[in-house]
Amino acid sequence: MMGSEKRTGFQSAVAAFVMWGALPMYWKLLHSVPAEEILAHRIIWSAVIVFIILVVQKRLPELFSLIKDKRTMLLMLGSGLLIGGNWFTYIWAVNHDRVLETSMGYFICPMVSILLGYIFFQEKIRGFMKPAVLFAIAGVLVMGLGYGKFPVTAFILAVSFGFYGLFRKKIDVKPLPGLFIEATVLMPPAFIYLLYLHMHGGGVFLTNTHDTIYLVGTGIATSVPLLLFVVGASRIRLGTIGTLQYIAPTMGFFIGAFLYNEPLGGAKVTTFVLIWIGVILYMWQLYLDTRKQI
């Protein structure tokens, strides 16, 4: 039974990261829709889908108890703004042919989390994590020099998701209720924006069948991989999850380079080599940590 549980957890986690890695292809289906309109629908339909899941799982009492906690709701407002900004940046970047840069951002994210853990929780940057962080920083500097400017998109994605993780670490809220609350606090501006858009003759919802279906599907594209991730994270080791998380940005790298033919160039190749060295060192330290726990 234990082996079956672990196998289910591993398969669920892999499926979650593969779905996240394939998301650029989904956003490309909505390339003609402005990023802010996609974001508004993603917020609304994510809330709808997650609420249905919570109802099916009979977890509404858990949700209502969270809503009554003012401190939790305030922190969830902060995490909601961070994840909303992260979603917008990601969608905008993909539909402006910057898939490679989004991939780099999520490669760097674990290094940002290490630094935030050191600053806010006095967590030690141990062993091979020290050179891993240095290689990641070197990769960003190389890309900045190659671009002639700082890689803003990758930086925003890494920092926003890193701080999102920091907020969620401070809140004792499970992923699905948390996602629903985050989406809910963002729903008023999303509704107002869409209402304004349609009142002024804009918006594609219900005017274009293709785009309408895919806009509704943004809720599924957001909630299903998260649900699979929760199933996986509850059944397998954290070190394994830490290793599997690189599936998504690796897929993003290959999708951007070979499916959408985004130019690589010497600076980008060098950047990814440096970051992957950091990733390997980071994963090696996770492996050493898990061995100590055996």
Phi, psi of 58 (to 5 degrees): 55, 50
The amino acid at 38: I
| The length of the chain, given as a count of residues | 294
* Residues 148-183 as b or e (16 or more Cβ within 10 Å = b): eeebebbbbbbbbbbbbbbbbeebebeebbbbbbbb
Determine the pLDDT at residue 214.
95
Print pLDDT tens along the chain (294 aa). Answer: 456 777 888 888 889 999 999 999 999 999 889 999 999 999 999 999 999 989 998 999 988 888 888 888 888 899 899 989 999 999 999 989 888 888 888 888 877 887 888 888 787 778 888 898 888 888 878 877 776 667 789 889 989 988 888 887 778 788 788 889 988 989 999 999 999 998 988 888 988 889 999 999 999 998 888 888 877 876 776 556 766 778 888 888 889 888 988 887 788 788 888 888 988 888 788 778 767 655
Q: Is 138 exposed, middle or buried (0-12, 13-18, 19+ CB in 10 A)?
A: middle
DSSP string, 224-246: HHHHHHHHHHTTS-HHHHHHHTT
8 A C-beta contact, residue 285 and residue 129:
yes
Contact 244, 13 (CB under 8 A): yes
Q: Which helix (H) or strand (E) holds 164?
A: helix 152-170
Q: For the residues of 75-122, what is the DSSP string, one character each?
A: HHHHHHHHHHHHHHHHHHHHTTT-HHHHHHHHHHHHHHHHHHHHHHH-
Q: Output the pLDDT for position 1.
A: 46
Residue whose structure tokens are 């898990």: 290
Question: What angle do helix axes 152-170 and 99-121 make, rounded to 10 degrees?
Answer: 40
Terminal Cα-to-Cα distance of the chain (whole angstroms): 20
Pairwise CA distance, residues 287 & 280, whole Å: 10
CA atoms of 210 and 39, how far apart (whole Å): 17
Name which of 23, 26, 91, 77 is nearest 248 in CA terms.
23
